[in-house]
Amino acid sequence: MVEITYKTLTGEVLTGYIRTDNAANILFGVEEFVQVFGDEEKTKPGPYIRVDSIGEIYY
């Protein structure tokens, strides 16, 4: 899992986690939407977000 920050439609900046393979696909320009999780264990599934709303990817 990789930690990210992303901006919601209301402009709020949140922190979440995405799968490592999704993060790699973002870097290659393959992904358009990814699912965000609230924790690294994937027990708190969150929304699917557009990749262009991601501000930072922390490896």
Q: What is the pLDDT of residues 14-54, one digit of tens each?
A: 999 999 999 999 999 999 999 999 999 999 999 999 999 99
* pLDDT category of residue 12 using cuts at 50, 70 and 90: very high
Asked if residues 32 and 55 have their Cβ atoms less than 8 Å apart, the reply is no
Q: Considering Cα of 46, then 47, then 48, then 54, what sign does the dihedral take? A: negative
